[in-house]
Amino acid sequence: MRVPVKDLFKKVDRMVFRGERMFVVGALLLMSVVVFLDVVYRTFAGDEHKGVTAFVKFLSYFGSDIERGDAAYVSLESWFPYVLWIAFVGLGVLGIRTAGRGKKMPFPKAIAFSAVGVVAVYGLIRLFLMLAPNGLIWAQNLALVLTLWVGFLAASMCTHENKHLKVEAAQRAIPEKFKPYVVFLSSLFSALVCFGLMWVALRYVLQRHDDFIRSEGRGAVVDGLDLPLYQAMAVLPLSFLLMTIRFAARGAFALGGELPQSPTIEGLDQLDKYAAEQPAPSDVPTEVGSVSGDRPVPQSQVPTDAHEVPEDEPEPSEAKPVSEERDEEEGR
C-alpha cells in the first residue's frame, strides 16, 4: 500500500524532531558537566584558598587589614578547611533530616552518612585534579559552541511544534474561508526568509572551510578545541534549511485545508470545563420582593418536596387571620 506524500513527510519530520530533541538534551547535559568541572578545577587547583580570600575580604569591610603571608592569614589557612568541613557536614545532616521520609533518620546516623559523603566528594575532587592537572581549558569554548547548536536547533524544534513567534491577533478577525490562503502566504514568506538566511549562512560556512583547507588545518579553528570553525557553524545552514522545509510544507498543507494548530496557553484549555461546571441560571438563589419595609427577604434555601393534591380532595381554603375568626364568633 502506497503511503501518501503528506503522511510520509510528517513521519520523517517527527523522526528529525526526535533527533533534534535528543541532541539538545545531550548537549545541555554535556555543557552542565564540563562547566561544573571547570569551576571545580578553578576553585581547588590554585595555591590560594578561595574561602580564606573571601573571608579576609569580608573582614576588610570592618577595618581589618590582613595581608597574605601574615601570621593571621596563615592561621586562617590552617583551620579554615576544618570549619568548611564541619559546615558541609551540618548541611548534609540538615538535608538528610529534612528529606521527604516517613521517619527521620537518627541524628548520629545522619552525621555519619553526611561525614562520609563529604569525604567521598572531596576525594573525587582531588582525583579529578590529579587526572586533569591542566584543567579543562577547552570547557568554556565547548560550552559556547554547544550553546550555538542548542539555540538554533531549538528554533527549528519550535517551528515543528508551531511554537515560534507569530502574530495571531489579525488571524482571529479573518473569516474562516480566507484563513487557508492567509496561512499559505505567511508560511511562504517565512520560508523565503529562512531560505535567504540559509543561503547566507551556507556561504559563510563554505568560506570558513576554504580558510581551513588553505591553512592546512592550522587556522579557522575554535581555540582550545582544534575544532574546525566551519563544523562549529554548520548548525546555521542546517537549522534554516529545516525551517524552510517546514514552513513550505505548512503552506502547502494549508492550501489542502489542513491548518496548523496553535498550542493552547496553559489554563485557557480549561475554560470550557470551568464554564460547564457553573450553575445554571435557574439554580442561582434569587431574592424575592419585600414584605415589610424596603429590605429584601432571601428565598428559602431549604429543599422541599412537592405534595400532590388528590383529585377528589378540595383545594385548601385561604387561611384567615386570627382577628377575623374572633370577630365572626362574637357576631354569632
Match 559523603 to its residue by C-alpha cell: 117
**How far is residue 146's CA from residue 33's CA, in Å, rounded to a whole number?**
12
**How far is residue 207's CA from residue 211's CA, in Å, rounded to a whole number?**
6
Is residue 25 very low, low, confident or very high in pLDDT (cuts 50, 70, 90)? very high
The answer, yes or no, to whether residue 331 has pLDDT greater than 80, is no
The pLDDT, as a whole number, for residue 308 is: 55
Inter-residue contact 220 to 211 (CB < 8 Å): yes
Is residue 65 very low, low, confident or very high in pLDDT (cuts 50, 70, 90)? confident
Window from 99-103, 256-260, 300-304 with minimum mean pLDDT? 300-304
Phi, psi values for residue 223, rounded to 5°: -60, 135
The answer, yes or no, to whether residue 1 has pLDDT greater than 70, is no
Q: Write the pLDDT tens digit of every residue in 262-320.
A: 655 444 455 555 555 555 555 555 555 444 455 555 555 555 555 555 555 555 555 55
Q: Would you list the DSSP string of 31-44?
A: HHHHHHHHHHHHHH
Is residue 193 very low, low, confident or very high in pLDDT (cuts 50, 70, 90)? very high
Of 49-53, 214-218, 267-271, give the range with the top mean pLDDT: 214-218
**How far is residue 161's CA from residue 192's CA, in Å, rounded to a whole number?**
19
One-letter amino acid at 224 equals G
The pLDDT, as a whole number, for residue 57 is: 81
Q: Which residues of 241-270 are buried (b: 16+ CB within 10 A; e: fewer)?
A: bbbbbbbbbbbbbbeeeebeeeeeeeeeee
Is residue 244 very low, low, confident or very high in pLDDT (cuts 50, 70, 90)? very high
Is residue 58 very low, low, confident or very high in pLDDT (cuts 50, 70, 90)? confident
The answer, yes or no, to whether residue 113 has pLDDT greater than 80, is yes
Of residues 58 and 326, which shows the higher confidence score?
Answer: 58
Give the pTM: 0.67
The answer, yes or no, to whether residue 203 has pLDDT greater than 60, is yes
216: region left, alpha or beta (phi > 0 left; psi from -120 to 50 alpha): left
The pLDDT, as a whole number, for residue 264 is: 53
Inter-residue contact 97 to 115 (CB < 8 Å): no
Name the average pLDDT for the chain.
Answer: 79
